[in-house]
Amino acid sequence: MKDSAKNASMTDIASLKQELAHQIESARDTKTLEDVRVHVLGKSGQITALMKTLGQMDPEERKTKGQELNALKDEIAALISSQESALKKQEMDAKLANETIDITLSPRPAATGKIHPISRTMEELVSIFGAMGFSVAEGPDIEDDWHNFTALNFPPGHPAREMQDTFFLPDTPGESDPARAKKLLRTHTSSVQIRHMENNKPPHKIICFGRTYRSDWDMTHTPMFHQVECLYIDKGVTMAHLKGCLTDFVRAFFNNDSLPVRFRPSFFPFVEPGAEVDIGYVKDDKGGIRLGAARDGEEQRWMEILGAGMVHPNVLKNCGIDPNEYQGFAFGCGIERITMLKYGIPDLRTFFDSDIRWLSHYGFDPVESRN
Ligand code: PHE
């Protein structure tokens, strides 16, 4: 050790420096560079060994050699550290180049799903009535007799109940009030009016939609269908508001500013006066129809699309509202019916066949812009 140290101490520092610098520069990765570092500056490294020889020198020599060796050690350490950062950067660059993640979106397959026409109509209703300041209320499909009939001024045993062929469910056991015990599938969304008025303070300005159920089955009836109901109760609401709101609604929905709208007196227990609302159409030469006003020589025909009226005072009282203070209107309408008319869909039953060919024909592209 002493000899090799002595020999080492004889080594020309300048050429040692050159040689070490060469080793450092030719290290191609951080691992090799670390080996070089250990070999030079480690416990038994070359420079460390040289430092150890200082102890055997006389003071004069030790002073000069010591300075030279320290300078060498610093320079080599600096070289190693700069080579190390260069290598680390290189290695990081290589890693980044290898592990590149493409964060751009690749083109996706064209959307294959379609929006069902019922959903589409409901969205349109929300936007039309939303613009008039209505909000959306909800209620359950399984109702009790109170909300579906009694509170709506259908007294028990009243023949008007027969207008709606009802699916009854088993009574709720232990419920003493027969109107609450009797359960059924709601026959109309008018039950949501009652629930909303029971649970909120007037004024009321809502629409609600959802599934409704009647025991019917033909081209224009299915046991399950959808309705939308509109309710507006405030001080001083009149039949004129009903006519204005309804006319605006049907004209907006059918995209026809001059669509003729007609009110005919009709009976629903929960309104007084009550009306059925018709829209005008004409027959075209091909056996089809065109919604709108008749032109010269054409015959103006009418079709019924909804029921409406001023909410009956008994209904308001049943919901704890003083009819001398608040009045208002309601109307209700089959969603399939207006959808069939708007988009020329001939058979209501096809809405619920889940036939994908039907849906791709009548359905709506999810990203298509609204009209
Ligand atoms: N609920 C009635 C029906 O289903 C429609 C309607 C609603 C009529 C509101 C008048 C007022 O036939």
**In angstroms, what is the span from residue 189 Cα to ligand 1's centroid?**
8
Does ligand 1 have an atom closer than 6 angstroms to the CB of 253? no
Domains in the chain: how many in total?
2
Alpha helices in 1-58 (DSSP H): 2-10, 13-26, 30-41, 46-53
What mean pLDDT is predicted for residues 19-33?
A: 92
Question: For residue 18, what are the domain limits?
Answer: 3-98
105 lies in some domain: no
Q: Which of 163, 266, 268, 336 to mutate to test the pocket of ligand 1 (most atoms within 8 A of CB)?
A: 268
- Rounded CA-CA distance 20/13 in Å is 10
Residue 230 alpha carbon, nearest atom of ligand 1: 9
This prediction has a pTM of 0.70
Say how many Å lie between the CA of residue 362 and the centre of ligand 1.
Answer: 27
Q: State whether 247 and 337 are in the same domain.
A: yes
pLDDT tens track for 136-166: 999 999 999 999 999 999 988 887 787 788 9
Q: Is 330 in the pocket of ligand 1 (CB under 6 A)?
A: yes
**Is residue 89 predicted with pLDDT exceeding 90?**
yes
Residue with structure tokens 């309601």?
A: 330
Q: Which of 17-21, 138-142, 210-214 has the lowest mean pLDDT?
A: 17-21
Determine the distance from the C-alpha atom of residue 166 to the mean position of all C-alpha atoms in its chain, rounded to a whole number. 35
**257-270: per-residue pLDDT in tens?**
999 999 999 999 99
Which of residues 98, 130, 156 is at a domain's end?
A: 98
What is the end-to-end Cα distance of the chain in Å, rounded? 94
Judge whether 192 and 228 are in contact, CB under 8 Å: no
> Which of the four pLDDT bands, split at 50, 70 and 90, describes residue 340?
very high
CATH of the domain at 223: 3.30.930.10
Residue 292 Ramachandran class (φ > 0 left, ψ -120 to 50 alpha, else beta): left
Cα 311 to middle of ligand 1, angstroms: 11
Q: Do 70 and 171 reside in the same domain of the chain?
A: no
Q: Is the CB of 332 under 6 A from ligand 1?
A: yes
